[in-house]
Amino acid sequence: MDLQAVFSRLFADYISLNPSVGNIHSLLKSENEEIRNDHIAFRTYNLPKINIDVLAKAFEVRGYKEKGNYRFKEKKLTAKHYENDKIPHAPKIFISQLECKALSQTAQKLINKHYLNLLHHLSLNDELIFAHNPVPNLSYRNFEQLRAESEYAAWLYVHGFRANHFTVLVNPLKSFSSLEMLNDFLTKNAIELNSAGGIIKGSKEQFLKQSSTLADKVMIDFIEGRYEIPACYYEFAERFTLPDGQLFQGFITGSADKIFESTHYRK
Ligand code: OOG
Ligand code: NI
């Protein structure tokens, strides 16, 4: 499967789970925009057979190289980003992982049990980036228990390996010359944005401004019954030129920290 096919498959999964993704696409298409994807993000656990480095293999064999690493102490996460220098405008890949050892013994036990279940249910002939969550019979009680310690852990327990978000790059848009303008347009069209740390995270001085939607809620069948749980969100990024004339391609830890919160559970 070539890179384009990988992205098409990931996007098909993403749009079918999250109704507001299709909605935002139609809105931008109605303005005659061609959408360029800045990056795609994945989440995982720092456990041997499924950590960042394992997940990244699907991209490394397709020409991606590790370009940056990040740490989110409070959220007990680390992350890396990957770029493809060979293919012009190829989206970057951002992969984060939960540092399980930083959680309580109770949460670690629960995650380890889930990990063994995951390994048992993963199919060998497909790549991890397409695996979603193959474990049947998820428990809402476990979800709540994890959520008490880490919203990220709870999200990951339910959704597993799927593209957590795609990101519209603002720079090439024709009708929107800034992230502020795009945000106004989205808000006017009843799209709710994540306001944690302010609607816009980052600044021109940091060479990156970002905003994101609040994740769509989807119905999930747990052993205890059906519950509405946040799924994925859409991100918008405007990048600025570095003193050397190149567009900044990295990520900003302080901003990312708040972007993670786009999947927080809201009543
Ligand atoms: C990733 C959050 C960080 C960015 O662009 O800074 C991020 C996540 O929610 O998994 O995407
Ligand atoms: Ni992102």
Instruction: Name the residue ranges covered by the structural domains of the chain.
Output: 10-38+104-263
**Beta-sheet strands, E only, within the chain:** 37-45, 65-72, 77-83, 92-98, 165-169, 201-203, 208-212, 217-222, 225-230, 233-239
Per-residue pLDDT, averaged over 107-124, amounts to: 95
Q: Which fold has domain 10-38+104-263?
A: 2,3-Dihydroxybiphenyl 1,2-Dioxygenase; domain 1 (3.10.180)
Confidence of residue 126 (pLDDT cuts 50, 70, 90): confident
Query: pTM for the whole thing?
Result: 0.98
Measure 48 CA to ligand 2 centroid, in angstroms.
24
Report percent pLDDT > 90 for the chain. Answer: 98
Instruction: Look up residue 133 and give its two tokens.
Output: 């969550």
pLDDT digits (tens, 9 = 90+) for 178-206: 999 999 999 999 999 999 999 999 999 99
Residue 130 burial (C-beta neighbours within 10 Å; 0-12, 13-18, 19+): middle
ipTM of the complex: 0.99
pLDDT digits (tens, 9 = 90+) for 2-19: 999 999 999 999 999 999
Element at 31 (helix H, strand E): none
Ligand 1 binding pocket mutation candidate from 44, 80, 96 (most atoms within 8 A of CB): 96
Q: Which atom of ligand 1 is nearest to the CA of 94?
A: 11
